[in-house]
Amino acid sequence: MSDWMGTYSTARGLEAGQDLEMPGPTKWRSVGEVKEQIRKGAVTEETINTSARRVLELARRLGRWDNPEEPPERCVEDPATNALIRDAGADGIALLRNEGGVLPITKTATVAIIGQHATSVVLGGGGSARVDAQHAITLVDGLPMLGYDVKVAAGVPVFGAVPHADPSAVFEVGNTEHTPAPVKIEWFNGPTIGENPSFQEMRPQAEYMIKERWPGHLDKDYCTRITFDLVAPSSGQHLFSAISTGRAVVYIDGVQVFERPQETKLKPESFYFYKRQLERRFTHEMTAGRRYSVRMDSWAADRAILDAPPLNGKMFQGSAVRFYEHIDLAARLREASEAAAACDYAVVCTGTINEIESEGFDRTDMDLTAAEYDMVDAVLAANPDRSAVVNFSGAPVGMAQFADRSPAIVQAWFPGQEMGDSVAAVLSGDVNPGGRLPLSWPRKVEDNPAYDNFPSHNNILRYEEALNVGYRYYDRADVAAKPLFPFGYGLSYTTFAVLGAGITQQRVLFAAADANIGITVTARVQNTGGRAGKVAVQFYVADCNSGDAAIGGGGGGGGHARPPKELRAFEKVALEAGEVRDVVLTLDRDCVSCYDAARMCWEARPGAYKVLVGLSSADITHSVDLTLDKGFTWTGV
């Protein structure tokens, strides 16, 4: 099956074995279009039958013939699963800086916990990565459960598009009691609000989206009216946003306060992925405790825009009106500073959210918000010796702005619903951090090897970095930029050392059919510190022939020279204090092979190689030589 809107042909997709175009209704596989492709000889009836048979066979295997109804979703709380999530989250956390052993936090200390990411949980990235959690444990929940005396400061807000109003402030029109679905959405066929009513519903939030399946009660030319009451949580110029794929008008207490015109630059999934680009913001003066009537009228997207490229009639349509209470950033920064100064330790939490990191689009930069940097600066100034920055993101963010000033930096990623317990376990020392970076962490976005080719030009994206991705790029002698934190890097509350490395034989001659060449490399590693911990021993292979012509004479990797070294294996081992262990790697043909794109095969060139052993891509401590007497090619995986 295709990704959503990820196919661009009829015959080519079918002949390649793509059985299902998503989403429906189909754009490329109507009965008429498929018949036309058969008539032209672009696809055969046999191909169509084979594809249909595979879909039907899948339905049979899943039991859909016997029970065509979708079973209801169910949620089962399992303590063992929760423990697994908690442990996995803690094990993945990477300690990036720990000057003077400021972490772990002593159990008798007072701790300031600062920032939006401490009081809420970002479960993961946006788009299809989003899942509902059974519960969410924040860091504000987790640290006190370990006995810490904490002081909480809200920090600065972090969002992409303006968030929805807090449920505590939203009421059904005329109702003084809270209800689970206080927002009324009325649907009308035609362009006139209030005429030809089609349907009405109550929803928890002031938003709707029409995705793959068009509502049977609704014409393509439609309009909606969204209404609810909003009680202002405080006095001030509060922030609203109107998000719509069509024209929208917002009224407060019956008076028009904002109009969002028809957006002319739309993408098929603008409302799903690009709300920040789609929204238009405005402010409105409000008085604390006063009840306001909010109404948003919206219309279907203009047909001329909808039917033209790149939409060609397919787009998720939707509208939303959102609200965010006015925040006095200066006061929030003072509060953060005062909390940090009043406690023994300060933990300031930064990061992204699912509207900043998501499928469907690329980030244009890797910076945190300006207010987050101000918050970090305020905390470090107030408590310069015992502060830790804990960052929550799925990809690198700009840390060079504070990396040399923050005593500790912890990369927590998105550890899931048990976040608070996972992070608290590491900060307290109950868990010794064993996470290692699966990527190189740039100092700034311009240091990325793909930077010069982003964004694409005329929808053509050039992968000119070729094989030089991540550490393969930064390792090159002609690259001045070095990462802030290298690939495979991560600290621990103990220390480790690679004591030596050996190989069973240095010269080898073997047939291409031999997946295992029968050579083992051994690295002796020791926990040289005072407590148990985990270390990731990394094995890289360097092709010492890479100064020659590119593999395949213009083939392997598109005619590009091999990178200085490439990770071929790693093993994470748990060692008690003082323990020494041999970590053994068995080499296979993958370790000396590179794909030759021109000849469509793998090639291992004869000559000299080095097996490099270390604790990160930038911390190689030992190497052993290997000579391949005879080259060969092979296919498969």
Please tell me the distance from the alpha carbon of residue 320 to that of residue 265, in angstroms, as a whole number: 18
Phi, psi of 281 (to 5 degrees): -100, 150
Are the beta carbons of 149 and 110 closer than 8 angstroms? yes
3 in catalytic set: yes
Closest CA to 420 of 137, 49, 19: 137
Please tell me the distance from the alpha carbon of residue 496 to that of residue 580, in angstroms, as a whole number: 10
Closest CA to 272 of 132, 122, 126: 126
Distance of CA 415 to the CA centre of its chain: 12
Phi, psi of 618 (to 5 degrees): -100, 5
| The dihedral formed by the CA atoms of 429, 434, 435 and 440, expressed in degrees to the nearest 10 | 110
Nearest 5°: the CA angle 3, 360, 129 is 75
Residue 531 has, within 13 A of its CA and on its CB side, a CA count of 10
Q: What is the DSSP string of 578-629?
A: T-EEEEEEEEEGGGG-EEETTTTEEEE-SEEEEEEEEEETTEEEEEEEEEES
Please state, in angstroms and as integers, the Cα–Cα distance from residue 492 to each residue in 97, 103, 153, 528, following that order.
9, 10, 28, 11
Closest CA to 412 of 400, 429, 424: 424
* Catalytic positions, written as ranges: 3
